[in-house]
Amino acid sequence: MSLVKRSIGIAASVAVAFATFVAPAQAAPVGCDGDLKLVFQGALTGGAAQTGIGEYNGFRLAVLQYNEKRGSGPKVEPAYIDTQASGAQSPALALATVNDPCVIGIVGGMYSGETRAALPIYLKAGMPVISPSATNPTLPTVGGDVFHRVVANDLVQGPAMAKIAKREGKRVFVVDDQTTYGKGLADIIRKEIKSIVVGKDSVTEGTTNFSSVVAKVKNAKADVVVYAGYYPEASKFVKQLRDNAATKNVKFVAGDGVLDDEFIVLAGKYANGVLMTAPAYFLGAADKQLAATYKKEYGTAPRIYTLEAYNAAYFFLEAIKKGNTDKPTILKFINENSVKGIGTTMKFDAQGEPSKKFINEFTVKAGKIAYVGNVINK
């Protein structure tokens, strides 16, 4: 799948969120002799790329719609850095990004590990950051006042997953992938339902053989497996769990790292019945017209976190519309204001967490992701 389809006529075909406006007098950041740049950070290649492509495309769509309706306001270039979801790669990419004087903000990172690795660089540079999907609770302690996210963190998602696991069975086995996201989420889940956790195990990213984990699930006589990790490994795990006669009926519960159409592609029929959570909605549920615009532009339906990436970019673009064109004034705007996005009003607390927090439950039915209901809303 290509990242984008080159097109400039998006906003002309539909009613869009951005109205034509006349911006206040604005000056480019010191040292910038070109367009402002808003940068998406995430995985655009590699095993986890499909979610990242969906996020990037949502981010880009927001910027393109802004540019078509910007009037006399500054043009914004939708740029990106491809971390391949790697915490090892993201610091060098982040450093190159903050050294570009035209960059005024980051939409990202996409995953918690790559985000955590880049945040010290962004903090030192005073670079505003809004993540559409990084959920590890410790990120604000690393990112200080530059870090924000539009989704609830895993202190909310973990209890939601634990609630589902408890509903589905009485003997729970918890598995994580040892990433910043997976390990942190698994720790929270185990604490929530420690009285019914009968075992735990860890794998690594790239694991293909889950036979030893399946054997442990069997020996523990678990009736629910909770997996805290990402969809490439989850697809293999659930296949091998279902192919074992002793574990084929064990319920499989996972978080937002598994909630992607690519999980269904990789797992095939074994994906049916899997239960998943996310602090997110699909774009089509929030704005059908915008979802249709997305599909026309990219030739595919929006994915999980497409909406959140669009909204994160939208917050930056609203700051620019109000005359803020450098990092300090944009950061001040983000920290002090609320913005009405698609399906929600965004506002951040002192730790950069969203004022509205919710977790939704999804499942796979007949090879398609289906909404089950809201689990937590506060």
For residue 289, the Cα-to-chain-centroid distance in whole angstroms is: 22
Instruction: Answer yes or no: is pLDDT of 123 > 70.
Output: yes
Task: Specify whether 246 is located in the same domain as 373.
Answer: yes
- Residues paired with 376 in a beta bridge: 359
Flag whether pLDDT at 12 surpasses 80: no
How many structural domains comprise the chain? 2
pLDDT, tens digit, for every residue of 350-362? 999 999 999 999 9
Q: What is the pLDDT of residue 5?
A: 35
Within a domain: 214: yes
Angle at 354 between CA 351 and CA 355, to 5 degrees: 105
- Identify whether residues 166 and 309 lie together within a single domain: no
Asked if residue 134 belongs to a domain, the reply is yes
Q: Are residues 258 and 289 in the same domain?
A: no
The enclosing domain of 256 has a CATH number of 3.40.50.2300
Asked whether the beta carbons of 307 and 286 are under 8 A apart, the reply is: yes
Write out pLDDT tens, residues 287-335. Answer: 999 999 999 999 999 999 999 999 999 999 999 999 999 999 999 999 9
Are both 365 and 234 inside the same structural domain? yes
Do 237 and 363 sit in the same domain of this protein? yes
- Which residues span the domain enclosing 53? 10-153+282-347
Q: Return the closest-CA partner of residue 354 out of 48, 98, 147.
A: 147
45, 56, 127, 252 from 3: Cα distances, Å = 9, 8, 25, 31
Does a structural domain hold residue 247? yes
Q: Are residues 137 and 15 in the same domain?
A: yes
Residues 144 and 195 in one domain: no
| One domain for residues 237 and 316 | no
Is 37 within a domain?
Answer: yes
- Taking the C-alpha atoms of residue 24 and residue 88, their distance in angstroms, rounded to an integer, is 41
Residue 84 lies in a domain: yes
- State residue 14's pLDDT score: 31
> Mean pLDDT of all residues in the chain?
93
| pLDDT at position 27 | 65
Looking at the structure, tell me whether residues 44 and 100 fall in a common domain: yes
| pLDDT, mean of residues 148-164 | 98
pTM, two decimals, is 0.92
On whether residue 140 sits in a domain, the answer given is: yes
Say if residue 10's pLDDT is above 70: no
pLDDT of residue 26: 60
Residue 2 lies in a domain: no
Report whether pLDDT(117) > 90.
yes
**DSSP H stretches of helix in 104-147:** 112-125, 139-143
Evaluate if residue 11 carries a pLDDT over 70.
no
Task: Give the percent of the chain with pLDDT over 90.
Answer: 91
How far CA 203 is from CA of 148, 196, 229, 256, 329, in Å, comes to 30, 21, 9, 18, 44
User: Would 220 be classed as within a structural domain?
Assistant: yes
Token readout for 326 is 């450098």
Phi-psi region of 211 (alpha: psi -120 to 50; beta: other; left: phi over 0): alpha
DSSP of 323-366: T--SHHHHHHHHHH--EE-SSSEE-B-TTS-BSS-EEEEEEEET
3-class DSSP state of 187: helix
Are residues 220 and 95 part of one domain? Answer: no
Exposure on the CB side of residue 69, measured as CA atoms within 13 A: 22
Return the closest-CA partner of residue 358 out of 247, 256, 230, 259: 256
pLDDT at 28: 75
Q: Which of 100, 92, 90 is nearest to 43 (CA)?
A: 90
Residues 265 and 161 in one domain: yes
217 pLDDT higher than 70: yes
Count of Cβ atoms closer than 10 Å to residue 28 Cβ: 16
Mean pLDDT, rounded, for 68-83? 96
Question: By the 8 A CB rule, do 36 and 29 touch?
Answer: yes
3-state secondary structure of 229: coil
Q: Which residue has the higher pLDDT, 93 or 6?
A: 93
Q: 316 and 211, same structural domain? A: no
